[in-house]
Amino acid sequence: MSSTLIRNGRVITASDDYVADVLMRDGVVRAIGTALEVGPDVKVVDATDLYVLPGGVDTHVHMENVIGPTITCDTFASGTKAAAFGGTTTVVDFALQTAQDSVLGAIARAQRSAEPQVNIDYSLHCIVTRVDAQVLADTRHAMRHEGVTSFKMFMAYPGVMMADDAAIFQMLRQVGADGGMVALHAENGTVIDLLIKEALEAGHTSPRYHAMTRPAIMEGEATHRGIRLAELANAPIYFVHVSSNQALKHIVAARDEGIPVFAETCPHYLLFDDSVYSSDDFEIAKYVMTPPLRTPDDQKHLWRALRYDDLQVIATDHCPFCMKEGHLGYRLQKQRGKDDFSLIPNGAPGIETRLASLFDIGVMQGKLSLNRFVELTSTTPAKLFGLFPKKGTIAVGSDADVVLFDPAATQTIRAKDLHSNCDYTLLEGRTLRGKVEKVFLRGELIVDGPDWHGREGMGRFVPRGEVRAF
Ligand code: DUC
Ligand code: ZN
Ligand code: ZN
């Protein structure tokens, strides 16, 4: 296998910041030092004035996820290519247990789709929608033998994805005891469904009512309930897509009590606020994601929590649906909800812009240190989901997943330049400071400026281990 030396870059991990050379051989980092001497067989890449970052780890993405009659519009191929261009080298997607499917069947099905397509390394959480003795046995098997150590459950979407409190408690108890993690979508689904029904009966059909029927207080209530279930189960818990201070205040209180509660937020909650929901225009369907965007005051609390470690991860919840019906042949996308906001598929794209947007609004605006930026986007997600230290850092023996990032470059984001199948980006026209220049996956150059050198199928499934968070 080829060897590459990254010469004279500024290596930034969650804990370090120094100028050095990084030698990559046989897919892993072999040496880090100054003025490393190498033979003529080693390719040398000059990284002077560039940051050398561990490849991003995005633990919340949806590729080819079937959601009701709809499917997210990125394939494993397009979504992982977009991730790579954005500096992400590992994603954790979802296998969905359906009424007909077992946990193990769902994992095998997702792997069959992903394997020939993935351009970067990947793993899977399994979404569990019902719990019985077989599901618990399969869950244990998946953890021990399939490398799937996290399970997502929903407190929202009654009749579709929602699991009741007893089911969530059973999973927390077993998965926690076995060293894994339950990730929870925390919103009070039955109350929200009532609010949606009442809004539609009152003739409120436009997209902004999506936000008005999913109030933050119902995210807070479910978060509190999830914490108490985890406390009783003596298990760690991870809250996905935390958007509001209503949720955050329970997370902060629980962590202060010593309960192992972890949580992510997503770039869109930091970049945009609920002022976008101010008209009945259907364009607002772009911002129909769950939970919806919150107030500037919520944003202030999210930043505080990111800074002081009450939020540990920034993942994208990349859940793309096209605005234009039929784009690339995708049907039943956002336009499905033209006359009824509750039919708009919930989600927005973001996988390619995560690092650059957070560098711009976080690091450049003085809200996050460089080390914290790496910790939130790579190291801690790797630790929480059993990928560390193979992923999430630059260290001797770790996978040579490396991003060369130019802090002095700027870029203006346009959907047409991105690599997702989605026909829009929430950042259209926005100029960001900072740019991914080169990306190495296990030592292989896959992104070089605008050029693509990756191959579908070169990504590998990464079996995950236990939670390493406390
Ligand atoms: N929750 C997610 O995590 N992703 C998309 C939609 C949702 O409700
Ligand atoms: Zn969710
Ligand atoms: Zn999601």
Find the 295 Cα to ligand 2 centroid distance in Å: 19
Q: How confident is the model at residue 93 (pLDDT cuts 50, 70, 90)?
A: very high
Residue 380 domain flag: yes
Residue with CA closest to ligand 1 atom 5? 347
Q: Whole-angstrom Cα distance, residue 279 to residue 447? A: 40
Atom of ligand 1 nearest to the CA of 291: 8
The atom of ligand 1 lying closest to the CA of 289 is: 6
What average pLDDT does the segment 334-357 reach?
98
* Max Cα-Cα span within the chain: 74
Specify the DSSP element, H or E, that contains 248.
Answer: helix 245-256
Same domain, 320 and 440: no
pLDDT above 70 (res 16): yes
Reply yes or no on whether the pLDDT at 407 is more than 80: yes
**340 & 434 share domain:** no
Q: Do 29 and 84 belong together in one domain? A: no
Ligand 1 within 6 A of CB of 72: no
Residue 71 contacts residue 320 (beta carbons within 8 Å): no
pLDDT at 467 (0 to 100): 84
Residue 29 clears pLDDT 70, i.e. is over it: yes
pLDDT of 447 reads 99
Query: In the structure encoding, which two tokens stand for residue 190, read together?
Result: 């039955």
Domain shared by 103 and 218, yes or no: yes
In this structure, the answer to whether residues 112 and 46 fall within a common structural domain is no
Please tell me the distance between residue 5's alpha carbon and the centre of ligand 3 in angstroms: 37
pLDDT tens, position by position, 418-445: 999 999 999 999 999 999 999 999 999 9
- The predicted pLDDT at position 139 comes to 98
Same domain, 41 and 62: no
Q: In which domain, by residue range, is 306 found?
A: 55-384
Cα-to-centroid distance, 238 and ligand 1 (Å): 14
Q: How many CB atoms lie within 10 A of CB 53?
A: 28
Cα angle 53, 453, 47; round to 5:
35
Task: Name the domain count of the chain.
Answer: 2
**pLDDT above 90: residue 101:** no
CA 292 to chain centre: 16
pLDDT at 1 over 80: no
What is the average per-residue pLDDT within 222-230?
98
For the four alpha carbons of 414, 419, 423 and 424, in that order, the dihedral sign comes to negative
Same domain, 161 and 277: yes
Q: Is 241 in the pocket of ligand 1 (CB under 6 A)?
A: yes
Residue whose C-alpha is closest to residue 19's, from 43, 42, 35: 35
**Res. 470: pLDDT tops 60:** no
**Shared-domain flag, residues 248 and 264:** yes
CB 50 within 8 A of CB 10: yes
Tell me, yes or no, whether 280 lies in a domain: yes
- Please report, for the domain that includes residue 399, its CATH number: 2.30.40.10
In the chain, the percentage of residues whose pLDDT exceeds 90 is 96
User: What mean pLDDT comes out for the span 322-338?
Assistant: 95
Asked whether residue 463 is domain-assigned, the answer is no
- Average pLDDT (285-289) is 98
Q: What DSSP string runs through 190-220?
A: HHHHHHHHHHHHTT--STHHHHHTS-HHHHH
Is 273 inside a domain boundary? yes
Q: Report the nearest atom of ligand 1 relative to the CA of 241.
A: 3
- pLDDT tens-digit map of 102-153: 999 999 999 999 999 999 999 999 999 999 999 999 999 999 999 999 999 9
Average pLDDT over residues 217-244: 98
Q: Using CA atoms, how far apart are residues 425 and 349, in angstroms rounded to an integer?
A: 6
Same domain, residue pair 333 and 447: no
Does position 156 have pLDDT exceeding 80, yes or no?
yes
* Domain shared by 300 and 448, yes or no: no
Read off the pLDDT of residues 441-468 as tens digits, 9 standing for 90 and up.
999 999 999 999 999 999 999 999 988 7
347-369 mean pLDDT: 98
Residue ID of nearest Cα to ligand 1 atom 3: 317
Same-domain pairing of 61 and 165 = yes
Q: Ligand 1 center to residue 287 CA distance, Å? A: 13
Residue 16 located in a structural domain: yes
* Residue range 253-269: mean pLDDT, rounded: 98
Backbone angles phi, psi at 204, to 5 degrees: -90, 95
Q: Whose CA is nearest to atom 8 of ligand 1?
A: 290
440 CA from centroid of ligand 2 (Å): 30
The distance of Cα 109 from the centroid of its chain, to the nearest Å, equals 21
Indicate the range of 17-21, 68-72, 112-116, 126-130 predicted with least confidence. 68-72
Residues 6+ positions from 359 with CB-CB distance below 8 Å: 373, 405, 407, 432, 433, 434
Give the pLDDT mean for 307-314.
97
d(CA 219, CA 312): 18
Q: Is residue 36 part of a domain?
A: yes
Q: Enumerate residues 6+ apart whose C-beta is below 8 A from 148.
A: 95, 107, 123, 124, 125, 126, 142, 464
Rounded to the nearest whole angstrom, what is the distance from the C-alpha of residue 319 to the centroid of ligand 2? 10
Find the mean pLDDT for residues 240-258.
98
Contact 317 CB / ligand 1 (< 6 Å):
yes
Question: Among residues of the chain, what percentage have pLDDT more than 70?
Answer: 99
Q: Does 458 fall in a domain?
A: no
Atom of ligand 1 nearest to the CA of 240: 3
Both 30 and 92 in one domain: the answer is no
Q: Which segments of 257-404 does DSSP mark as H helices, in order?
A: 267-271, 296-307, 354-358, 370-374, 380-384
Average pLDDT, the chain: 97
418 domain-assigned: no
CATH code of the domain in which 276 resides: 3.20.20.140
> Which tens digits make up the pLDDT trace of 177-199?
999 999 999 999 999 999 999 99
Q: Given the CA of residue 60, which atom of ligand 1 is nearest to it?
A: 3
Q: What is the pTM of this model?
A: 0.98
